[in-house]
Amino acid sequence: MKADELYSLYSSDSVKANKKFTSKVLLVQGEISEVSTNIKSEQIILVKTGIPGAYVNCTLEEPAENLVSSGQVSIKGICSGIGEGDADLGLPGDVYLTRCIVTIK
């Protein structure tokens, strides 16, 4: 499924999306916004959703090479739902995938 479709489902009806997707393995496709490393030295890929500041946030199981911003990617991982964001700052929450692997770069 496309990253923007997944995000749209969560933002329009998070209860229904949680029942359908949370704890399930998903294959998500989209454009990379950013590649970084978290405090645990795990590689993180933010996939664009079409909404400024909102991403599908993917934590990789093993680092992947040759990933660049604006590149297309397919990632398989376990969906853990949508984060709260920060309404005061105008930041939407991300949809999170964990234990991810990159299937297409």
Give the separation between CA 38 and CA 96, rounded to whole angstroms.
Answer: 14
Q: Which H or E element spans position 74?
A: strand 72-82
**Which CATH number goes with the domain that contains 49?**
2.40.50.140
Domains held by the chain: number: 1
Give the separation between CA 58 and CA 37, rounded to whole angstroms.
Answer: 11
What pLDDT is stored for residue 35 in this prediction? Answer: 93
Give the separation between CA 74 and CA 101, rounded to whole angstroms.
Answer: 9
Give the separation between CA 43 and CA 4, rounded to whole angstroms.
Answer: 21
Note the pTM of the prediction, 2 decimals: 0.91
Q: Which DSSP category does 84 fall into?
A: -
State the pLDDT confidence band at 46, using cuts at 50, 70 and 90.
Answer: very high
State the pLDDT confidence band at 94, using cuts at 50, 70 and 90.
Answer: very high
Helix intervals (H) in the chain? 3-12, 14-21
Average pLDDT on 45-61 reads: 94
Range of the domain at 53: 3-104
pLDDT > 70 in the chain, percent: 93
